[in-house]
Copies of this chain bind each other. A is one copy, B any other.
Amino acid sequence: MAMIKKAVKGMRDVTPEEMRLRNHVSDVIREIYESYGFTQIETPCVEHIENLSSKQGGENEKLIFKILKRGNKLDIANAKEENDLADSGLRYDLTVPLCRYYADHAAELPQPFKALQMGNVFRADQPQKGRFRQFEQCDIDILGEPSNLAEIELILAMSTVLTRLSFKNFNIRINDRRILKSMAAWAGFAEADYDAVFIILDKMDKIGAEGVIEELEKAGYPKENASKYMELFRLLEGKAGEEALKALSERMGEALSAEGRSNLEEIFSAVNAAKKDGWTLLFDPTLVRGMSYYTGTIFEVELKEFHSSCGGGGRYDEMIGRFTGQQTPACGFSIGFERIITILMEQGYQLPDEKEKTAFLLEKGLPAEKVNEAMSRAEELRAEGKCVQLLRMAKNKKFQKEQLAAQGYTEIKEYFR
């Protein structure tokens, strides 16, 4: 069989230059999240097909790379469908494995458990620019904490990471599924229709309020519901945070979810008191977040200058119970690792200084004692924390030196016969 040089479809190799940046960003993330008391765990890339197909993963469940059964379990002749052939698959996120991990290890873990995870996930998406079928996710989750201390810590931790990585001008948009639902109820939508309504609402920033009304009507909802719904959003235009919540409360009265409102007010109060940096926490009543497993607070980071989301998360108090049979409150945030790398690469982000780099060029036929002398000297310099590379002197030494300079070798020492 012929060998294939390119990476498999939709996946890619990482160059040394990008790898340095990735390592740096990972180090910053790890250091900062650890300062908030998160501890790192790791789960396998391979997960049970049952867990991946538990309806927690939404659309991602259609994108699973499935792994062929092995040995006697694989019965090709009698196989009818994919799941006759596969009993495991590559994880499409870190949340499902985290819940499995917690279900299996809860007895040994501190309460609450603050988990940091960094690892590859896999989705068989149609490949497109900047979107790959293997990519790194980086999640923090607080399991076992029912109060919004969890949300507050998550927001402060991730905003600190972004600030440290030179991002200044970002918004953290926040909403609460309970507010979202009470607004839909107030407008007259039935509970069974919420998810469908929210999918349309989610397009507000693209199609505007008129567009949303139009789509709601097209989908068969009464015009009066759609209009009443949009009335609320018009009321909130230009109002930020606590002011918007107050306006909403005045208009909706007791119909507005009281838990949702006080939850967001407490988060606003604590985050704004503690935060030092110039980013903004914004109440966004149109924020939906796709995953149906969210039960309370939801949030999303918006990098304004790059017109880009850069991660999000929320509270999912019911997922772990599906593993354990016992409800465990949970709240998490996934930072957009690949998005950050792409932006920092484009911006020419300045990495911290590398070690001083020296190259030793050894002429061909250099006698053993001179080779040994060079080796010993290199070992001494490395022990002092420098980077030293030994190379045979090339015939085209000028070119070799230019290449080394391009790689950051500032000093070159030559050893002649």
A contact set with B: CB distance below 8 Å? 1-8, 11-16, 19-20, 22-23, 30, 32, 34-37, 39-48, 50-51, 53-54, 65-68, 70, 74, 76, 79-82, 84-86, 88, 90, 100-101, 103-105, 108, 110-112, 114, 120, 122, 124, 133-134, 145, 147, 149, 152-153, 156, 160, 266, 269-271, 273-276, 322-324, 355, 357, 359, 362, 368, 371-373, 375-376, 378-379, 382-383, 385-392, 403-404, 407
Given known pairs A45-B134, A48-B8, A145-B392, the reply for A35 and B385 (CB within 8 Å) is yes
In angstroms, Cα B79 to Cα A100, docked, is 34
CB-CB nearest in chain B for A319: B3
Given known pairs A152-B375, A160-B382, the reply for A8 and B54 (CB within 8 Å) is no
**A/B interface sample: 20 pairs, CB < 8 A:** A1-B53, A6-B104, A13-B101, A14-B43, A20-B39, A23-B40, A35-B385, A37-B388, A46-B65, A65-B68, A68-B82, A74-B82, A85-B85, A110-B404, A147-B392, A152-B375, A266-B368, A270-B375, A273-B376, A276-B383
CB-CB nearest in chain B for A44: B11
CB-CB nearest in chain B for A113: B16
B13 lies within 8 A of A41 (CB): yes
New A-B pairs, 10, CB < 8 Å, besides A36-B382, A110-B407 = A3-B100, A8-B47, A13-B43, A20-B39, A22-B42, A23-B30, A35-B382, A36-B387, A36-B389, A44-B134
Please state the number of chain copies in the assembly.
2
A4 — which chain B residues lie within 8 A by C-beta?
48, 50-51, 100
Q: How far is the CB of A216 from chain B (nearest CB, A)?
A: 34
In angstroms, Cα B135 to Cα A42, docked, is 12
Given known pairs A76-B85, A362-B149, A368-B266, the reply for A50 and B375 (CB within 8 Å) is no
In angstroms, Cα B43 to Cα A271, docked, is 40
A54 — which chain B residues lie within 8 A by C-beta?
1, 3
Given known pairs A42-B14, A85-B85, A274-B372, the reply for A388 and B35 (CB within 8 Å) is yes
In angstroms, Cα B85 to Cα A382, docked, is 50
B74 lies within 8 A of A8 (CB): no
A41 lies within 8 A of B68 (CB): no
Q: How far is the CB of A240 from chain B (nearest CB, A)?
A: 19
Q: How far is the CB of A230 from chain B (nearest CB, A)?
A: 33
A2 — which chain B residues lie within 8 A by C-beta?
50
In angstroms, Cα B152 to Cα A77, docked, is 53
A70 — which chain B residues lie within 8 A by C-beta?
65, 124
